[in-house]
Structure 1
């Protein structure tokens, strides 16, 4: 069994803006990026799950038509009060407090990375239990959390793994053991 983790394409948002739950559209480069991704995927039957945010659901539609399920647990980190704010405008004290322990400290009116990790692992376990090849069209935070889970990497170190827009990771499941087959960065 294989599970493909696909990060959405470039979003239409200015650099330096904090976004997670914000429903941002895709950039004008979408068609080119999506076509590259489509060419990398195997042509076989797979269950497809996507974040309901349009930067993921548009990619899932491009790749698989309307035959996918959206799941709230595949959303990016909820940045609460910080959503759509410039990182530079958050203030060094607030940002530093979060950066010092981003795994457990919740963003004001948002969530912690641990919260995201728990929902990501929950849906991964459900997908694995079904025993069918699958695709998760999702966000960087979810992919980092799942790769950390599979590789037993501490969450504090999971940001050392690059997750570029439109990149794919593949997990294999053999005898209920999850392994990273490849990560296309």
Structure 2
């Protein structure tokens, strides 16, 4: 199975704002960013999966995929009470505590990285059992980082060492027994 994964385009959120599972607007450059992505995707997909947030569904539609499957397991990390707060306005000691154990420490009314990884790996374990040849996933940076961890089996504590840009595309081939064949970062 060949799987293409795209991070949504740039969001119109004040720099330094914590957001994950919040609806946020897209930048005015959305159509241009989507056009660039579309020009790099010359693939007929058997199925398209998206995070249910509008920053992902709008991209799917702009790319010409009116039929797509929303899957909550592809949602970004839930930052709970920190959602839409500026990082500078979150208690520094809370951020320090969380950053020391981001994998296990669940945010107030939110998730930890284990929660996110478990959602993503559940999605992937289900997906690779299917007989699709080409799949498109439109999602978020945290989910994409968890996909990398799933594929390469590296520790979750190292997730943020992987840069994932807005509108970035990568593809990989994987077999039903989770034997990875190829990974390509496109943009």
Normalising by the residue count of structure 1, what TM-score does the alignment of the two structures yield? Answer: 0.95
Question: Would the aligned equivalents of 2:18 and 2:87 in 1 still touch at CA under 8 Å?
Answer: yes
Q: Which whole-Å CA distance do the structure 1 matches of 2:70 and 2:176 have between them?
A: 28
Q: Quick one: structure 1 residues 42 and 26, their matched pair in 2 at CA, closer, same or farther if it must change by over 3 Å?
A: same
Q: CA RMSD in A?
A: 1.3
1:26-41 mapped onto 2 (5 Å cutoff)? 26-41=26-41
Partner of 2:186: 184
Counterparts of residues 1-185 of structure 1 (less than 5 Å): 1-132=1-132, 133-174=134-175, 176=177, 177-185=179-187
Larger displacement relative to structure 2 (122-131 or 30-39): 122-131
Tell me: CA distance 1:175–1:56, structure 2 relative to 1, closer, same or farther (3 Å): closer
CA contact (8 A) 1:127 1:134 kept: no
Deviations along 1:87-140, whole A, 9 cap, x unmatched? 011011000010001011111110001100000111112221112121110000
Structure 1 position 179, deviation (Å)? 4.3
Contact 2:48 2:65 (8 Å CA) reproduced: no
State the shift of 1:12 in Å. 1.2
Stretches of 4+ aligned residues off by more than 4 angstroms: none
Matched position secondary structure for 2:48: strand
CA offsets 1:44-94 (integer angstroms, 9 cap, x no match): 133100001010110011113311011111110000000000001101100
Gaps of 5+ in 1: none
For 2:65 and 2:174, how far apart are their aligned partners in 1? 26
1:178 deviates by 2.8
Instruction: Measure the CA separation in 2 of the matches of 1:175 and 1:75.
Output: 24
Which secondary structure state, in structure 1, belongs to the residue aligned with residue 63 of structure 2?
A: helix
**TM-score (normalised: structure 2):** 0.94
| CA distance in 2 between partners of 1:179 and 1:91 (Å) | 44
Aligned length: 185
